[in-house]
Structure 1
C-alpha cells in the first residue's frame, strides 16, 4: 500500500508538472476582447509566458514589437548595464496624451514647485505611475508578468482601461536588472525538464554562487536608490525625477513557503520623516490589491515583515519624494515548479499574482488620482514650511573628488547647492573656497536633505529590514554642520551649476629632480597603479617632508624621482601630464631633493613601492555583495587588475603570482586542507592577506593569526520571557547597520591620506575585536561613546566601546590585516575606501614591531 501511495503521488506530481507548463493568456488575463493587431507575447518570444523564463533579449524584442504596433506606447533606451544590455522605458497612455506628453510632464513637475503648484487644477491632470519589475534578477515573476501587463495595456478594448489610460501616464520598466535576469533565466531554462520537477533539491531550483539576484558586480540594486552609484540606478533616478511619479511599484519575490505581500509595512518602523498621509494612501491603495487577489483566491498579507524606513529601497524612496512606494513580494518558485507549505507553487501562478497587482495598481491610482496629486502638492509645500529648524548645511573636504562626487549625488536627487568662493571659519572649522558646498534647507527637497544629513539614535522600533543609518557626509568622510542665517551671511557662494570632475595639473612645470603626488585624493591609488604599470619607480613618504620650493608634504605622499629610471625626463613628464589629467590628481614638480629641516628625498623613510598583484577569493560561502564591492572598486574606479580566484582552486593554484590576497566576509570551508596549507605557506613567504569580518575567524582557524573577539552576553538571559516576544528580542540584538566613531593613528601606513584623528565607520556586524597588548598594533580604536547615528543594542554598544576596528598580525615574512568592517559598503562609503587601498599598497611595509 505504501508503494502504491508513493506511485500515485509521483503520478500526480508528474501530471501537475505537465499541466503547469501548459498555460495560455486565458489563465492570466481577464475575459475581455483584445485588439488583434497587437502581438501577444507568444507571437514574438516563441513560447507562452511562464512556459520558460524570459531572457532579457527576448523581453527587449517583445517590448519593441509591442511599441511598433500600439499607439498607446512609446519606447526609449535610458541607459546600459555594465554588460551592455539596454535599460528600457515604455511610456504607456492614451494616444491623446502622447500628443501632448511634454506639456503633461512639465505641468506634473509643477506639483513639486510650491510657487507654481497652488495654481494647478488637479481635476484635469493625469496621475503618473512608475511600474518597475524584478530589480532582483532571480525574482523573475515580475519581469515575466511585465510581458502580460504591457500587452494588456496595449491591446485591451475594455472601455474602463481606455478611460484609465486617459487619466494616467504609466512609466513602464520591464526589467530593472537585465544582467541578473539574464543570468538567472539561463540557469533555470538550461536545467528545465519536460516533466517538471518540484523537488526543492533539484538543480534547477538551486542556482550557484553568486546567483542572479544582483547585477554584474554583484550589487543589490534595490539598496542603491539613495546612494545611486550604479548605472542601472542612475538611469532609474533620471526617469524618476524627470516625472516625479505619484506611485512607484516594485515587484519582488520572497521565500517559497510564503504567500504574497503588499505594503504598507510594519507601522512602527515607518521613517518619521515621511508624512502620515503617505501611509494612509498606501493603505487605501492596498485595498485594491486585496480585492484583486481575493478575486483569484490567492493568499496574501500586509503590515508584517517589511518596513518603510531606509530610503535607499525602491518602495521607500518615493515616500520622501512626494509619491507612494509599493513593494510587492511574491513567494518564489525559483524555477518552474516547487513544493511549498501552501502546495505546489508553479511559475505561472507567481506571474499571475504579479500581473493582477499591476492591474489593480492602475485601478487604485485612477480611483485615488486627485488624492494622490493633492498629496504630492502638499508634500512639497509643507516641506518648505518645515525647513526653518536649520537654514543650511555646510559640507567640506580637501579632496576635490569627494566634493565632486557628493555634489553629483545632490544633483541626482534634485537638491540645490552652491560652492563657496571665500575662506571662512565657522564654529571653529575652516572652510576653504572650492572645497565647501552650501546646501540651503529652504527648498522643496528639504525632507530628503534632512535624511541625507541627519544623525538619528532614537527609534520607536528596534528592528529594521535594512540599515538604520546612512548619513552621507559621514560616508564621504566630509566635515559638515548646520549653519544659521547669520552664519550663512558670512559665506560667499558662487552660482549653482553642474559639478565638473576635478582637473589634474602639474604645479611648477617640468620637474628637475622628482614629482610629488598628494595621497589625499580619492583616485590617487589609480594614478599610482598607472605609473607603476609604466615601469616607473615610485616611493612613498613615511614621514612628513618639505619640498624644494617651500611646500609641505604629509605621510603617504608619492615620490617619482627622475634619476635611475628607464625613461627620459621628457618621457616621464609626458606620462605624468597625461596621468594627472586622466585621474584628476595634482602633481608637484620638485627641483631638489634637499630638505634641511626634515627628510631629504634620499632618506630611508621613503619606501619603494611595487605594483600589486591582487587576488580576491570568490565562490561558495563567500559574501557575494562584499566580494562585488571589492571587484567594483578595483575594476571600475581604480582600474587595477583583480583576479577572481575560486576558493576551491586555491589548493592547486600558484599563489606566488599574487602579492595580496583578499578574503571578504564569509566561511571558507571550501578551501580544503590543501588550500589552507597553500595560504599559510604563501603568507609566510611574504604575502599580504586581507581578511574581512568572519574571514578573520576562518583565518584564525588556519593558524594565520591570533585575533580575539569579545563575547557579548545578556545578563538576564535566564529570566522568563513571553514566547511571542522571541523574534522581536532576537531581532533587536542584531546590528543591521549603523555609524560609529573611531580614533585613528594618522602616522600608520593604513591611514596615510587621512589628516584627522577621528573617522566615521559603518558597521553591520557584531564582531568586536579585542585590542592588541602591543599598543603599536592598534591603528584604529572605537571611542568610549562611539555611536554617531543608527541603532545598536545596549549590550552590543558596551562590547563595541574601546574595541579595535583593525588588527595587524604577521606570520613569517608576511602580513595579515584583519578588518572587522566592510570598508567598501555598497560602493558609497567612499570615506573608508582609502583604508582598504592602503592595505593593498602599503600593507607589506608595516613594521613587524607593530603587529600582534
Structure 2
C-alpha cells in the first residue's frame, strides 16, 4: 500500500513540475526583442525567474534603483514612508531626449491641467501612470511591474523607442508594501517544498487579517480621496505633480476568475464625459487583441463598476484622465500555482505574464491614441464638460468640527477654495438635510468652493447630495457626499456667489491656545472641539484628575457643551507648580483651546465642581480582533484611538477570550462580526460576560456585533430588533418565483449599499456628548433597534418625512428604518451595553458620528 501512495505522490509531483515548466515555456516576456545587454533583467538581478517566488518589497525597490543606475531612460523617486518604515517610490520612464527635458515636460503637463481652456495638445507626450499592488495579497502585480519596467528601459526595438518618445510612463511598483510583505512573509513560511495546488492547503489559506490591507488594516484602494494614510497622501502629492492622462490600477480577484479587462459595468459616475466609456473600451480592445494571440482567457463588461471615487480606477477619471482597472485571477489563494474549478493549473508565472502584457498594451494604446487622449483630458477639465447647474458649495467656518480637516484634504487635491471676506446672503442655497431652497446668510470667513475650475469633476462628484444612480446593485457604497460624511454645516447654490473673497493658499490649523493661564480654580476644555478626546487622553497621560460635565454651563456669555472637561486645581493641588505649563503644552500639542477659570460658580447651568461633573478615570480597554470580527472595522477603531485620539487600547484575539481576566478591563469593544459571535463565545463565556457587565463593565457592540447583543440574536439583552410583520401578499409570493437570471438584480434591490440616513441625536446622553442634534448615519444593513422605556435611545432615524438623505434604499427598507434606533445604551446592573448598529468611523472619512464610540470608551465608564 505504501508503495502505491509513493507512486501516486511521485506522479502528482511530476505532473505539477511539468505544469510549472509548461507555464514558463508558454508565458514568456517578448524574448524575440533585442535588449540592451547593459541593463539587468529581473531574473538576472533576483537570481530566479519571475513566477518562481514572491519578491520582498526591498528587493523590488532595489531592482528599480538598479535600473535607474544602469539607464538614462528611468529615474526613481521616493514619495512616502509607511507606518512600518517602508519607503514608497515611483519610476519615471521615457526616452533619453525627454528625460533630458523632463522637468519642463512635467511643468507643461501640470500647466495643461490647470489651464485647459487655453492649452494646446500639439507636441505633448501622453502621461501614463500604472499602479501596482495596492492590495498586498494581490501579489503578482509587483512582479509584473519589474518586467514591464525592464521592457521599456532595455528594449532596443523601434516600436519601444517610439512609445518612449511620445509618452512619459510612471510606474508605482508597490503601493502597499506593509501589506505586501505581511503576505509574502506569511506565504514563504507556509509554502511546501513540493508545489501544492490544492486551494484547501495551508499554503492557500491566509490568516487574519491577511495582507490585503495596510498596517492599520485599511483598504488603501478606498483612500485615494480621503488621504487618511501616509501612503495615500504621498501618492496623491506625486500624482498632482504629474496629472496623467491615463491610469491603470492592477489588481487580482478570486483564482477561479479569468482576467477582467475594461470596460466595466454600471453604475457609472455620470458626472464624467460620455466619451469615457469609449476610451475604456478602446484600451480593453487593445489588451484583448494581445490576449487572443496568447490564448489568455478574459471577460469584459460583466463586473466592477467605477462609481465610488476613491478607487485607483476612478480617482484618475474625476481628475480628467482615463482611469481603469485590471483584475487578474489569483489573489492570496493563488500562491505559486493553484488548481481552478475547471481543472486548470493557474500559475504565478501566468499571472505575472498577464499583467505584464496589459502594462505593455496600455503604453502602446496610449501612444497610438495620443492626440485623442490629450484632447479628452483638455475637454474633461474644461467648463464645457461640467454637468448640472451648481455654481458653488459653501461650508460654514466651524473651528470645532471636521471643516478644517476637509478643507486641508481638498487643498491636497489642488482644489481652489475661497474664503469670504464679508458677510453675505445667498439666494437659491440648498440644504443637505432636505434639499430645500432658501436665501441663507453666511459670514466672513466661510468657505466657497466654486465649480468654475478645472477640478469641477472632482468637486461635483464629492459634494453632490445625491449622485445619479443607474444601477442599485453596486460594488461599493451608494453615497460619499462630504457634507454628510463629515456632518458639516454646508449648502450648495445654483446662483453665482458675488461676495468678495480671498483664495486659500495655506492649510488651516485648528485653534490652539491657553486663556487665563494662571487660573486659580479650574481649566476647561469644551468637549465639542475636534481634538477634545485627544486632550483627555493627554491629561490622563500627564496624571491629572479630570471631570466631565454632565450638563451644559454658561459663563460670561459663553455656553459650554455637555462632556466638557474640567480640571479642578484643588483636585490636582500637587501639580500646582506646573499646571499652567502643562495646560499650555496641552493646548499646543493637541490643538485645543484651554480656558482658565478663577471661580467655579457659573452664571447658568451646573457649577464646575457640581455632582453633575463626573470624574472620568482612564479605562482599560480591550478591542476584540481576529475571526469572525471584521478586520476593516477593527482597524478603523484601532486607528481612531491609536492615531486620532492617541489613547492606547489592547487588541485581544477572539481565540484568547477564554483565557483573559475580564476584571482587568473596564471596556470591551466588539467590531462588526461576520455571522454573529456564536463560534467565539459559548454559553458559559456569555454568562461570564454578562456578569462582568453587571459588575460595572461597558460592553460596546458595533454593526453586526451590536445586532448580536439583542434578544433576537443571542439573548444577551432584552433589546429587540425591529421585525416586520409577516406579509402574505402576492408580491412576496411572486419573489419566490424570480427567474435565476434576475435574482441578483431583484434581491440586490433589497439591500442598502451604504446610504446616508437622517439621524436625530440625544446629545444630553453621555454617548452623544459633543455632537449636534442631527447627523447622517451611514447604513448598510436593514437592522434597527426598537426603542422602549428602559432603553436609552441616543440616535434614531427620523420618524417623519424622507428618512434617507443620499444613496439608495428601497421604499420598504426606508419605511422599516423610520423611527428605529441605531445608537442606544442599555443599563445592566452597574454596567452598560452600548449598541452602535451603524459604523461610526467608516474608512475614517464617514466620521460625523465617530464621537459616539470615543464617548462610549472614554466617558461612559465614569457615568
Question: Structure 2 vs 1, CA of residues 709 and 589 (structure 1 numbering), >3 Å: closer, same or farther?
Answer: same
Aligned length: 836
Matches within 5 A, 1:525-564: 525-547=533-555, 549-564=556-571
Q: Spell out, residue by residue over 1:212-252, the C-alpha distance to the aligned partner (whole angstroms, 9 max, x if none).
A: 11111011111111222111111221122111111111111
- Give the one of 704, 725, 729 matched to 2:716: 704
Q: For residues 852 and 419 of structure 2, what CA distance do their matches in structure 1 show?
A: 28
**Contiguous gaps of at least 5 residues in structure 1:** 847-852
Q: For residues 596 and 108 of structure 1, what CA distance do their matches in structure 2 show?
A: 61
Q: For residues 290 and 711 of structure 1, what CA distance do their matches in structure 2 show?
A: 50
Q: For residues 178 and 673 of structure 1, what CA distance do their matches in structure 2 show?
A: 42
Q: For residues 262 and 626 of structure 1, what CA distance do their matches in structure 2 show?
A: 31
Superposed displacement of residue 18, structure 1: 6.0
Matches within 5 A, 1:301-320: 301-320=299-318
Matches within 5 A, 1:647-662: 647-662=654-669
Superposed displacement of residue 768, structure 1: 1.9
Equivalent residue for 1:606?
613
The residue matched to 2:272 in structure 1 has which SS?
Answer: coil
Equivalent residue for 2:804?
787
Q: Spell out, residue by residue over 1:78-109, the C-alpha distance to the aligned partner (whole angstroms, 9 max, x if none).
A: 00111111111100111111111111112222
Superposed displacement of residue 43, structure 1: 2.6
Equivalent residue for 1:839?
856
Q: For residues 681 and 60 of structure 2, what CA distance do their matches in structure 1 show?
A: 39
Equivalent residue for 2:432?
none
For the pair 1:580 / 2:592, whether they are aligned, the reply is no
Superposed displacement of residue 550, structure 1: 4.7
Question: Structure 2 vs 1, CA of residues 291 and 518 (structure 1 numbering), >3 Å: closer, same or farther?
Answer: same
- Give the one of 431, 447, 465 matched to 2:475: 465
The residue matched to 2:382 in structure 1 has which SS?
Answer: helix
Equivalent residue for 1:412?
412
Q: For residues 489 and 458 of structure 2, what CA distance do their matches in structure 1 show?
A: 19
Matches within 5 A, 1:174-213: 174-213=173-212
Superposed displacement of residue 595, structure 1: 2.6
**Contiguous gaps of at least 5 residues in structure 2:** 427-437
Equivalent residue for 2:520?
512
Equivalent residue for 1:624?
631
Equivalent residue for 2:431?
none
For the pair 1:379 / 2:377, whether they are aligned, the reply is no
Q: Spell out, residue by residue over 1:635-664, the C-alpha distance to the aligned partner (whole angstroms, 9 max, x if none).
A: 111110011100111111122222111001
Greater Cα shift, 596-605 or 614-623: 596-605
The residue matched to 1:184 in structure 2 has which SS?
Answer: helix
Superposed displacement of residue 433, structure 1: 4.3
Question: Structure 2 vs 1, CA of residues 63 and 740 (structure 1 numbering), >3 Å: closer, same or farther?
Answer: same
Superposed displacement of residue 330, structure 1: 0.8
The residue matched to 1:175 in structure 2 has which SS?
Answer: coil
Equivalent residue for 2:824?
807
CA contact (8 A) 1:396 1:431 kept: yes
Superposed displacement of residue 429, structure 1: 5.4
Question: Structure 2 vs 1, CA of residues 473 and 21 (structure 1 numbering), >3 Å: closer, same or farther?
Answer: farther
Q: Spell out, residue by residue over 1:20-55, the C-alpha distance to the aligned partner (whole angstroms, 9 max, x if none).
A: 178769843112121111111133223221111111
Equivalent residue for 1:849?
none
For the pair 1:797 / 2:798, whether they are aligned, the reply is no
Q: Spell out, residue by residue over 1:699-743, the C-alpha distance to the aligned partner (whole angstroms, 9 max, x if none).
A: 345543223222357752321333210111122222221111011
Equivalent residue for 1:850?
none
CA contact (8 A) 1:692 1:818 kept: yes
CA contact (8 A) 1:705 1:810 kept: no
For the pair 1:684 / 2:684, whether they are aligned, the reply is no
Equivalent residue for 1:289?
287
Greater Cα shift, 371-380 or 560-569: 560-569
Superposed displacement of residue 393, structure 1: 1.3
CA contact (8 A) 2:209 2:217 kept: yes
Question: Structure 2 vs 1, CA of residues 393 and 148 (structure 1 numbering), >3 Å: closer, same or farther?
Answer: same
CA contact (8 A) 2:379 2:385 kept: no
Q: For residues 21 and 519 of structure 2, what CA distance do their matches in structure 1 show?
A: 73
Equivalent residue for 2:462?
452
Q: For residues 550 and 400 of structure 2, what CA distance do their matches in structure 1 show?
A: 23
Equivalent residue for 1:496?
504
Q: For residues 652 and 295 of structure 1, what CA distance do their matches in structure 2 show?
A: 59
Greater Cα shift, 20-29 or 645-654: 20-29
Q: For residues 457 and 112 of structure 1, what CA distance do their matches in structure 2 show?
A: 25
Q: Spell out, residue by residue over 1:459-511, the C-alpha distance to the aligned partner (whole angstroms, 9 max, x if none).
A: 3212111111000111111111123556x33x453332211322411123321
Matches within 5 A, 1:264-343: 264-266=263-265, 268-332=266-330, 334-342=334-342, 343=344
The residue matched to 2:276 in structure 1 has which SS?
Answer: helix
Superposed displacement of residue 125, structure 1: 1.1
Superposed displacement of residue 402, structure 1: 1.8
Superposed displacement of residue 117, structure 1: 4.9
Equivalent residue for 1:644?
651
Structure-2-length-normalised TM-score: 0.93
CA contact (8 A) 2:792 2:825 kept: no
Q: For residues 139 and 280 of structure 1, what CA distance do their matches in structure 2 show?
A: 28
